[in-house]
Structure 1
Amino acid sequence: MASFFQSLLRLTRFTNLLIIGLAQYFTAYFLVDATTLTDIRLLILTSSTVLIAAAGYIINDYYDIKIDYINKPERVIIGKAIPRRFAILFHTLFSFAGIALGYYLGWQIALINFLSAFLLWWYSNNLKRLPFVGNFSIALLTGTSIYMVALLFGGDDTLIIIYSSFAFFMTLVREIIKDMEDLKGDSTFGCKTLPIVWGFRKTKQFLYAVVFIFCMTVLILDLLFTALPSVYFVLFLFAPLVWMVLRLYRADTVKEFEWISTFCKVIMLLGILSMSLL
């Protein structure tokens, strides 16, 4: 039983779920109002978001079993530690539970949760095999998870939009880098991701452009509406991004792309923690 539970935690990317929950709690506490921390609605919102995300991770691995046996066979869980029918059962239960909890908070949250669950299924079944569309979909959902806090509680829209943009762009970069990491398995099964269609060189150039647009977007929003001290951007955004771009420029192996993908999560965590300094 313990082994099954541990496998379920690995399947649902428990660390990623913690980051999602932490992001919503930090947004509510530091960007909205500290009193929201004791509001039961925040716990329900975070629980519903985490359940939808967990369902998304499950269905993604369900459809990617053959690809994962090539890219990362040691990480395959469905069909080994967890039977395929159990995976579908958990995906269904988590999705419906997330939508139901969202409905308790209001029709807008329920609608977002429903559309998120549907988009995650569609992504796993089809969109992730297309160039850019799948990457954009996951990035959009990640950014929306931050903005849902403002939708429920209100708050400083500009700051929340800045952090939602941060989550969107960093997820977009990470998803494309993961496609570079998974090139071998994806190409074997006919996927058309950006690295397959464009090759590494053009994909890297595209990522440089995305990072530049991201930095400019954050700076313009800040200059027009917020005017945060530049130290926030230097320490928590620009310095880590410059380091990531330098590593990306030199990267050409699976391990190097895997390291950069993990470092993107570190940058996202730094961004979340920077909320406490505002």
Structure 2
Amino acid sequence: MRRRITIKDFLGGFLRLIRWPNLVIIAVTQYMARIFLIGPLNEWKQVFLEPAIFLIVLSTVLIAAAGYIINDYFDVKIDLINKPEKVIIGRYLKRRVAIGTHQLFNALGCIIALWVSKWVFLVSVLSATLLWVYASYFKKRPFIGNLIVSLLTASSLLILVVYYPQNRALVCLYSLFAFGITLIREIIKDIEDVKGDASHGCQTLPIIWGIRRTKLLIYGLVILFILSLFGAAHWLQNVQLGWMFLVLMGFIGTLVYRLVYADTKKEFGFLSNLCKLIMILGMVSMVWIVY
């Protein structure tokens, strides 16, 4: 007999579905970028009373939540193999409720973005569209899906560049950082989920190339990622950036070392979490950047 779903079960499942910790990270990152990168820092208290940044953050969070919902909506069968304990849709939330909530969140996010500016609205509509196209089609294709997710992650900072003219180069650099580490993480996640993906006809890089060749690609991306960051820091003539990236090299070195010997789902899961840690540390470094 199927267990009756309580309100507590529903709310808990819904919060897991929209990845609320990730939404908090997105919101905090955007506020940090507004305070520490865009500035001026001595007016940080006024930032929390500024309608524009609040609306941009709210719009971004709603569209991101919608993206997580539609991603799980299309991935129920695959997730039953890769991570059955984390499946929400069909267990705590009916499919029609999930798709309705997805559409509502997207609509609200885009309306709020239009309230801010037409350019923020354009970025928001593009992001919502790419999230749908990714979840419904490109996620099962090699590399292009990884690229789309990475671009969408970077767009959470690039959307600030659209509205705020100050220190755009610095904000773009952090967008590049977010793009690079997300791309590496997404390919690692494909290796982690290769069993479930293969059983449902997905054509991710580890499936069509094999794990060994996919690892070689990741090594190349890590090298390109490091060179891009230090090159940008040098171009901006920002010594603090160089030191921050040097500190992160210890974590990136650990990532590469563990990747060489990684062979199990658990080990690739660890590497995926390590990439997330590197991302968070990189974003936190905004606090020490002097502009």
Tell me if TM exceeds 0.5.
yes
Query: Where has structure 1 moved over 4 Å in runs of 4 or more?
Result: none
Distance in 1 (alpha carbons) for counterparts of 2:258 and 2:237: 31
Match of 1:253 among 259, 264, 269: 264
Q: Which residue of 1 aligns with 2:245?
A: 233
Match of 1:6 in 2: 12
**Is 1:194 the equivalent of 2:200?**
no
CA distance in 2, matches of 1:226, 1:96: 42
Q: Does 1:53 align with 2:64?
A: yes
Instruction: Indicate the RMSD between aligned Cα atoms, in angstroms.
Output: 1.0
Matching of residues 118-129 of structure 1 within 5 Å: 118-129=129-140
Alpha-carbon offset, residue 38 of structure 1: 2.5
How many residue pairs end up in the alignment?
277
Matched, 1:92 2:98: no
Which structure 2 residues correspond to residues 207-246 of structure 1 after superposition, within 5 A?
207-229=218-240, 230-235=242-247, 237-246=248-257
Of 21, 24, 31, the residue aligned with 2:37 is 31
Distance 1:241 1:171 in 2: 13
CA-to-aligned-CA distance 1:194-239 (integer Å, 9 cap, x gap) = 110111111111011111111111111111223223321122x211
Q: How does 1:140-219 map to 2 (within 5 A)?
A: 140-219=151-230
Cα distance in structure 1, aligned partners of 2:31 and 2:239: 21
1:135-168, CA deviations, whole angstroms, 9 ceiling, x for partnerless residues?
0001001111112112212221221111000000
Q: Percentage identity across aligned positions?
A: 43
> Contact 2:31–2:53 (CA<8 Å) still a contact in 1?
yes
- SS of structure 2 residue aligned to 1:155: coil
Which amino acid in 1 is paired with 2:191?
Answer: M
Indicate the residue corresponding to 2:22 in structure 1. Answer: 16
TM-score normalized by the length of structure 1: 0.97
Q: 1:72 aligns with which of 83, 89, 93?
A: 83
1:37 Cα shift?
3.5
Instruction: Find the aligned partners of 2:203 and 2:280 in 1 and give their Cα distance.
Output: 30
Residue segments in structure 1 that go unaligned for 5+ positions in a row:
none
User: For the residues of structure 2 that align with 1:226 and 1:37, how far apart are their CA atoms?
Assistant: 30
Deviation of 1:93 (Å)? 0.6
SS of match in other structure, 2:93 = coil
The 5 A counterparts of 1:125-140 are 125-140=136-151
Q: Which amino acid aligns with 1:19?
A: I
Q: How far does the alpha carbon of each residue in 1:93-125 deviate from its partner, in whole angstroms, 9 at most, with x for none?
A: 111111111100111111111111111011010
Gaps in structure 2 of 5+ consecutive residues: 1-6
- Largest Rg, 1 or 2: 2
1: distance between equivalents of 2:48 and 2:178?
21
Distance in 2 (CA, whole Å) between partners of 1:44 and 1:249 is 43
